Amino acid sequence: MSTTTKPAPPTKVNVNNIQGDVLSGLPKKTQTFMFFKITNGKQFVADLVKLVPLIQTVAQSLKDRDDIDQHKKAKKPGLIPMAGANISLTKTGLDAMGFTAAMIANTALTEATFQKGAIADAPSLNDPLLPSTQTPDWEQEFLNGIDGLLLVAGSDHDSVQKKIAQIQKVFPADPNHSSITIVKTITGDVRPGDQSGHEHFGFLDGISNPLIAGFDKTVPGPTPIDASNVLTGYTQANDWTQDGSFLVFRYLLQKVPEFNNFLDANRLQNDPITSASLTEQQGSDLLGARLVGRWKSGAPIDISPFQDDPTLANNLQQRNNFDYANEFRDNNKCPWAAHIRRTNPRTDSTRKGPIDNRRIMRRGIAFGPEVNDAEASSGTTQQDRGLLFACYQANITNAFRFIQTLWANNPTFPFIGADIKPPTPLTPGVDPLIGQVAAGQPRQMSGYDPLTANDPDQKPLSMETFIVPRGGAYLFVPPIKLLREFNRHITSS
């Protein structure tokens, strides 16, 4: 490789050098997140070499998924016991290991938002702040700072605990004999029964991740993106972070009873085609679908706008095969502010240029108990539940942060040019789920009712906040080769 020419984007990814959760996802029914502080940087660097055999690669994740498929095809009972671990580090974690600004110069680790860190960046995301300190209203462990994350995912709690026990041989639970201290542990679980794969509001999750060219099998829908949009080290020459990635973690509490009450109270009244009255459940479901952009089944409303179609949701060839191209001047089928349109606007934005570098690989999992009878009857959340949001990208500023600040939180998006504006400009409002507004600003969206979606005099829907951030971290996911060679890069600088 030339010392002056940046490497070509990967046409075939190195599945043995990339941590498993990044491209393929660690197979999981449960996942434990262990956030840590580094107490002995030099020892930690040495310990990483010992940890490598326990870190699952993409190749191993693909093998596990193939074993699961064969198990299902053979109609064997139960689950195959399995668990995989990955590790990632924050900017302060790299500092604790001994890295300086000069050592990481000309690498992806200089990425601005990663260097800034999640705590300092939270105000720009419109995360609620504590009035007394103007710091994020997060749980204290996250405010104290995180150096790294060990995540372990698997088929069941026993398998995960066995993997954690193996990790504890490298990083003992006794802080006097370990180079790290675990400061926060959170466990997420796939929801039970027919809610498997659905987040706590009830919508099927994780079905629209971008496809990676040369890695994923192509299906109808958005064009596969180059792996360099997810993997670091392909934008400049001699970047030793190659095949790493950046992980954004967000600890998100969901106010489920309040969300359900909101849908009921603001339910749509009439069928958009026949004008017949909708039942309470039909009106509530239709409003929910228009806020999210999909029915709870996962069927996109851009294809099936006014009635759920579970068979469409299960059709891998069709459920992502839409692009809003025929409705960029209106939002009758899918509101401009709907969650999936706001976080992946497809042709709403590609008319202005490619958005491949905005795409993220989402790997979240639900946490917390199901809504109980007391919560449902009172309409008030009494127990913490929500989403352990995790996503991977090659550049946090270009991807997650851009999506949150300029798409989800922006009440005027996608009106970014004369070719997109309708005859009478409207204000679509913020993303109904994750859109956050500055203190004192209205939280609204337009186009929620298909009967008035293109009426310039339509009344905007005022919304409560249904998702509350309670913590976060920006982390670098090192490639396997680098985990073995961190010490060389520190001592040679």
Q: How far is CA 312 from CA 34, 202, 319, 321, in A?
A: 37, 17, 6, 10
Where residue 382 falls among pLDDT bands split at 50, 70, 90? very high
- Evaluate the CA torsion angle 413, 416, 421, 425 in order and state its sign: positive
Find the catalytic residue in 205, 308, 323, 356.
Answer: 205
Tokens representing residue 493 in the block: 């600088």
What is the per-residue pLDDT across 457-480, written as a single tens digit (0 to 9) for each?
Answer: 788 999 999 999 999 999 999 999
| Among the listed residues 151, 144, 346, 381, the one whose alpha carbon sits nearest the alpha carbon of residue 252 | 381
Decide if pLDDT at 192 tops 90.
yes
* DSSP-derived secondary structure for 68-97: HHHHHHTT-SS----EEEEEEE-HHHHHHH
pLDDT band, very low/low/confident/very high, at 207 (cuts 50, 70, 90): very high
DSSP string covering 435-481, please?
Answer: ----TT---EES--STTTTT-TTPPPEE----EEEEEEEEEEE--HH
Looking at residues 64-92, what average pLDDT do you find? 97
388-408 residue pLDDT tens: 999 999 999 999 999 999 999
Which band of pLDDT confidence, cut at 50, 70 and 90, is reported for residue 426? low
Cα dihedral sign for 147, 229, 18, 198? positive
Q: How far apart are CA 189 and CA 370, in angstroms?
A: 11
User: Is residue 53's pLDDT more than 80?
Assistant: yes
Q: Render the burial of 328-345: b for 16+ CB within 10 Å, e for the rest.
A: bebbbbbbbbbbbbbbbb
Tell me the sheet residues that pair with 230. Answer: none
Contact 412, 428 (CB under 8 A): yes
pLDDT for 1: 42
In the residue annotation, 205 being an active-site residue is answered as yes
The most distant pair of C-alpha atoms in the chain lies apart, rounded to whole Å, by: 74
Specify the residue for token string 């497809």.
346
- Confidence (pTM): 0.95
Contact 245, 394 (CB under 8 A): yes
Buried-state track 208-223, b at ≥16 Cβ within 10 A, e below 16: bbbbbbebeeeeebbe
pLDDT given for residue 328 in this prediction: 73
pLDDT band at residue 493 using 50, 70 and 90 as cut-offs: low
| 210, 359 Cβ separation under 8 angstroms | yes
Q: Which helix (H) or strand (E) holds 21?
A: helix 20-23
pLDDT-wise least confident of 69-78, 256-265, 421-430: 421-430
What tokens does 243 get? Answer: 């095949």
Query: Is 90 exceeded by the pLDDT of residue 187?
Result: yes
Q: CA-to-CA distance for 389 and 232, rounded, in angstroms?
A: 21
User: Which two three-digit tokens encode residue 378?
Assistant: 């009172």
Q: What is the mean pLDDT of residues 10-37?
A: 95
pLDDT digits (tens, 9 = 90+) for 117-128: 999 999 999 999
Residues 6+ apart with CB under 8 A from 120: none
Query: Could you tell me what percent of the chain has a pLDDT over 90?
Result: 85
Q: Output the pLDDT for position 350.
A: 72
pLDDT at 11 over 80: no
The letter for the amino acid at 210 is P
- Tell me the pLDDT of the chain averaged across its residues: 93
Main-chain phi, psi angles of 473, to 5 degrees: -160, 145
Give the number of C-alpha atoms closer than 13 A to the C-alpha of residue 158, restricted to the C-beta side: 3
What average pLDDT does the segment 84-110 reach?
Answer: 97
Q: Give the residue-averaged pLDDT of 426-450.
A: 93
Measured distance CA(143)–CA(130) in Å, rounded? 12
